[in-house]
Amino acid sequence: MKETILTLALQKSGRLTEDCRMTLEKAGLIIPDYGRALRVQARNFPLEVLFLRASDIAEVVASGAADLGVFGRNDLMESLHYIELEEVRSMRFGSCRLSIAVPEASGITTTAQLDGKIIATSHPMLLQKYLNKHKLNAQSLVMEGSVEIAPSLKIADAICDLVSSGSTLQANSLRELEVIFKSDAILIAQKEFAPDKQHLLEEFLLRIDSVTNALTLKSVMMNAPRSALSAIEDILPGIDSPTVTPLAREDWVAIHSVVEEDDDFWNKIRQLKAAGASGILIKPVDRVIF
């Protein structure tokens, strides 16, 4: 009997490729590098990886030739197969925004002034959705790439393109006017997932989630007098509650917790010090299973 395997379509070479490879590797899935091979079998999991152009991934998953695919949320919104596909997970990388930008010297300061203007873009669906929603009568000029050049060539008044740091806009003397969509890399599947592969999907997701859920976590260890424990517990609740171990030094304990590295992280560290913690160790978390 033929072995049941999952098929995963990834971008062959592009912005999301390296992060995809890293995530699979950290999830313990060994994908051999066969150079130019476009179909590769994982060594230790019933998984075949197809390397495709990003623009073909939606079609290949929607047709059933692949079970899963990873690409940008923006790519899903632009795809004609949008209705047949569903997001299974955010991959927690590939963050960017789709923005409308105008030449720095342009007098356009509000989106209402885009009425009657020409906007160059590689994302016509998302742009049109935005224009319809805001009842703006602008015309889109569809370009495959190098959209930023259009205003200086006088073929468009504005552009609508993906931005992450904003340095490409700056290098082309463009000013960001409005963010119209926020994107990240997502794992997609057909809405009707093959029932005989469900168990493999669950095993695959367990591994992927263990990596993506750990990305923003830090393992924090410290020593403190026992009398400071309750104040420290209030600052660091941890996944369940912190692990507390007695130390040889009388009335002192070692405390271990896992903390989200969010905007408040360094504030928490300061509070821990103020509460009496010392020797605070901060380490990355490789993988976590909740």
Q: What sections of the chain are H helices per DSSP?
A: 17-26, 54-62, 73-78, 124-133, 167-171, 198-212, 229-235, 265-275
Residue (212 or 257) nearer to ligand AMP, CB: 212
Span 243-282, contacts to ligand AMP by CB under 6 A: none
Stretch that binds ligand AMP, among 100-108, 156-164, 226-234, 240-248 (CB under 6 A): 156-164
Residue 70: CB minimum distance to ligand AMP, A: 10
Q: How far apart are CA 196 and CA 207, in angstroms?
A: 19
Residue (79 or 183) nearer to ligand AMP, CB: 183
Q: Does 85 bind ligand AMP (CB under 6 A)?
A: no
Q: How far apart are CA 97 and CA 52, in angstroms?
A: 23
Residue (72 or 242) nearer to ligand AMP, CB: 72
Token pair for residue 84? 């047949």
For residue 38, what are the contacts with CB-CB under 8 A and spacing of at least 6?
Answer: 12, 50, 51, 52
Answer positive or negative: Cα dihedral of 96, 99, 102, 108. Answer: negative
Residue 13: CB minimum distance to ligand AMP, A: 7
- Candidates 6, 8, 10, 16; binder of ligand AMP (CB under 6 A) is 16
Residue 49: CB minimum distance to ligand AMP, A: 17
Token pair for residue 57? 């991934």
Q: Does 9 bind ligand AMP (CB under 6 A)?
A: no
| Interacting residue ranges for ligand AMP, rule: CB under 6 A | 14-16, 54, 72, 74-75, 94, 96, 162-164, 183
